[in-house]
Amino acid sequence: MTTAMRNQAAILFDLDGTLVDSVYQHVLAWRRALFDQGFDLSAWRIHRRVGMSGGLLVHALGRELGHEFSASQVEEVQAAHTRYFHEAGDTVRPLPGASHLLQELSRRHVPVAVATSGTRETAGASLGSLGLGPEVPVVTRDEVPFAKPDPDLFLAAADRLGASIGNCIVVGDSIWDILAARRAGALGVGLLSGGYSRQELEVAGAFRVYQDPAAMEVRLEELGIRM
C-alpha cells in the first residue's frame, strides 16, 4: 500500500460494553441460564467470557466445570439467556457519548460498521437505542460461521464497507475483540466500559485504551481520525 493509495481508516465497533451498557445484564442472564441447567458458574468467570460467541462461551465454561455440554443443552442455555436478557431490557442504555461519537465520525466521513457476537434477536433493542443511520452496516453472529475471537465478524464488517481490513480500527471492550482484531489484521482499541481492566486489554494487544465512547471521541486524533 503506497501512501498515495491509502484511504481514510474505517472503524468497526463491537456492540455490548462498547456502544451499549449491557455487559453486566448479559453476565447475570448467562448465570441464570446456566443455573437452570444445574451449573453454578461464578459471575466473574462468565464476565471474562462475554463477547465471545454464545456457543463458545457455554463450551468454555463447561470445560472449566469439567462438563461437556451437548448441542441441545447449548441451545437451551442460549435460549434461556436470550429470555433473561430481555427481562433486563429497559436497563440497557447507550454508553456515554456513543451516539455522539457515531455522529461525529459520520461528520468526519469515517466509514463505520458494527460487528457483534450477539444474535440479531439479543442485539435488536440495543441497536435501536443507538439510532444508527442506514449507512452503518451491522453484522451479527447469525451472519458468519464463527464469532469472536475468530476474525470473521470483523472481516465481514470491513467487506460491507468496502474497506481493506488492514486499514480498519476495531473498537471493543473485551479481550475477544482485541484478539479477533489482531487475527483479522486490524488495529484493536480497547474501552473500559465493559468492565475489563486497562492491563487486560493492553496485554491482549490493544493499540490504545479509552474509558468509553465519550473519552474516545476526545482523543480521535490519536487514532489518526482528522477533522
> What residues act catalytically?
14
**Secondary structure (3-state) at 145:** coil
Q: How far apart are CA 185 and CA 170, in angstroms?
A: 10
Residue 31 interacts with its own copies (CB under 8 A): yes or no: yes
Stretch that binds its own copies, among 1-9, 24-32, 54-62, 113-121 (CB under 8 A): 24-32
Q: What is the rounded CA–CA span in Å between residue 172 and residue 165?
A: 16
CA gap 87, 91 in Å, rounded: 9
| Under rule CB under 8 A, residue 25 binds its own copies | yes
User: Does 187 contact its own copies by CB under 8 A?
Assistant: no
Rounded CA-CA distance 115/13 in Å is: 6
Residue 212 makes contact with its own copies by CB under 8 A: yes
State the CB neighbour count (10 A cutoff) for residue 157: 31
Binding mask 43-82 for its own copies (x = CB under 8 A): xx--x-----------------------------------
Task: Kindly tell me which residue out of 39, 196, 207, 210 binds its own copies, with binding defined by CB under 8 A.
Answer: 196
Please state the closest distance from residue 10 (CB atom) to its own copies, in A. 26
Strand 93-94 versus strand 20-21 pairing type: antiparallel
Looking at 121, 195, 208, 215, which residue binds its own copies (CB under 8 A)?
A: 195
- Kindly state the helix (H) or strand (E) to which residue 219 belongs, with its residue range: none
Which one, of 179, 11, 38, 208, lies nearest residue 108 by Cα?
Answer: 11
Per CB under 8 A, residues contacting its own copies are 17, 21, 23-25, 27-28, 31-32, 35, 40, 42-44, 47, 88, 91, 93, 95-96, 192-197, 199-200, 212
